[in-house]
Amino acid sequence: MAPFFYSKFLDYLRYEKRYSDHTLVNYEVDLKQFFEFFDGQDLTSLKPKDIRLWLVNLSEKKLTNKTISRKLSTLKTFYKFLHKDGFVDGNPVVRINAPKIEKRLPAFVKEAEISIEKLKKIEGDTFEEKRNFLIFEVFYQTGIRLSELLLLKEKDFSDGKILVNGKRNKHRIIPLSNDLVIRISDFITLKRNNRVYSDNIFCNKSGEKLYPKLVYRIINSYLGRITKMDRRSPHVLRHTFATHMLNNGAGLETLKELLGHSSLSATQVYTHNTFSQLTSIYSQAHPRGGKN
């Protein structure tokens, strides 16, 4: 059973921290699992050794270090809130280190695999097919997150750009290609012609907002038709956008603004992919680059 201050904590995340619905769901899942593990115990009197026991339990369940690290981060935010509001005297999580996470380079689709000529062959003509193809193109041409796409309103689209509501309710403006401007305009017209009324750009034929799992399945299906890579998600298209931008001359600062990153450190991960391409070009182009 969740303690009485659980709802206060969720309100804090929702209204003060302005976390997205997706992030809130992750917090809820993590905390409910934590509550179940310590069922019947007073959560305000837990010690660091109790938290370590919980971490061992997560490890025995074969959870990855990345997942365990995220759950520990949730717990640190939770106890920081409890300490700030006087529910606990001390924070049992503050000195517990997260397990080391093996860094994995972002997966991305090769430019040849995602050419517009190749994609047009699988576009389709129905309302859902037009919508799904546009969703794919918006992800690839803007690099926005899944949660951000679901929040896009028709009013956010104007004058060749789109206003994106990002993490922590931070807004950013992303320029659009002429092709994407036409596609969005045509889709909004298609909605009107089909009497589909919604403030959101993307919705179903009843005007209802799309849910994350549906969008994930749409992207998974499209990527499955153009690439053999195992990872097929909206975030792969975000990685693809970033990698292709850098490979074609965009600077890190520009990419940081387009992606909505709070610091350059989050953006710099994409330089690994760019450096790999430079190494390949060097080995082929330089007389002593190691080419066969």
Strands 161-165 and 157-158 come out as antiparallel
Neighbours of 212 (CB within 10 A): 15
At residue 291, the pLDDT reads 54
Q: Are residues 75 and 191 in the same domain?
A: no
What CATH number did the domain enclosing 66 receive?
Answer: 1.10.150.130
Would 118 be classed as within a structural domain?
yes
Asked, for residue 97, whether it belongs to a domain, the answer is: no
Same domain, 30 and 75: yes
How far from the centroid of its chain's Cα atoms is residue 135's Cα? 15
Same domain assignment for residues 153 and 271: yes
For residues 167 and 228, membership in a common domain is answered with yes
Tell me what pLDDT residue 28 has. 94
* Whether residue 206 is found in the same domain as residue 77: no
Per-residue model confidence as pLDDT tens digits over 248-287: 888 889 999 999 998 888 788 777 666 666 666 666 665 6
Q: Which residue in the block uniquely carries the two structure tokens 């920081």?
A: 80
What pTM, to 2 d.p., does this model score?
Answer: 0.68
Higher pLDDT: 105 or 173? It is 173
Looking at residue 286, its pLDDT comes to 57
Same-domain pairing of 78 and 116:
no
Query: Final residue of a domain: which of 48, 68, 84?
Result: 84
Q: Which of 69, 84, 99 is the last residue of a domain?
A: 84
List, for residues 72-90, the tens digit of each pLDDT value.
999 999 999 999 988 888 8
- Check residues 224 and 120 and name the one with the higher pLDDT: 224
Query: Tokens at residue 172, please?
Result: 């950013």
In the predicted model, is pLDDT for residue 228 greater than 70? yes
Both 118 and 186 in one domain: the answer is: yes
Looking at the fold, whether 181 and 272 belong to one and the same domain comes out as yes
Q: How many CB atoms lie within 10 A of CB 197?
A: 10
d(CA 17, CA 22): 14
Distance CA 81, CA 96 (A): 17
CATH number of the domain at 143, please: 1.10.443.10
Beta bridge partners of 163: 173
Q: How many CB atoms lie within 10 A of CB 128?
A: 11
Give the per-residue pLDDT at 89.
85
For residue 94, tell me if it sits in a domain.
no
Residue 182: what pLDDT? 95
**Within a domain: residue 288?**
no
DSSP secondary structure string, 70-109?
HHHHHHHHHHHHHHHTTS-SS-TTTTPPPPPPPP-PPP--
E strands, the chain, in order: 157-158, 161-165, 171-175
What mean pLDDT do residues 209-229 have? Answer: 93
Written as six digits, the tokens of 139 are: 């992800």
Number of domains in the chain: 2
Name which of 54-68, 92-106, 172-186 the model is least confident about. 92-106
Which tens digit of pLDDT belongs to each residue from 195-218? Answer: 999 999 999 999 999 999 999 999
Catalytic residues: 145, 167, 235, 238, 261, 270
Contacts of residues 266-273 at CB distance under 8 Å and 24 or more positions apart, as own/partner, are 267/242, 269/103, 269/105, 269/106, 270/106, 270/239, 270/242, 270/243, 270/246, 271/246, 272/105, 273/105, 273/106, 273/108, 273/243, 273/246, 273/247
| Of 260, 212, 265, the residue nearest 24 (C-alpha) | 212
- Residue pointed to by tokens 């990527």: 223
| Full residue range of the structural domain in which residue 25 is found | 5-84
One domain, residues 130 and 18: no
26 and 133 share one domain: no
175 and 49: one domain?
no
Say if 92 falls within a structural domain. Answer: no
Q: Where a domain ends, among 84, 101, 133?
A: 84
Average pLDDT for 170-177 = 92
Could you tell me if 116 and 34 lie in one domain?
no
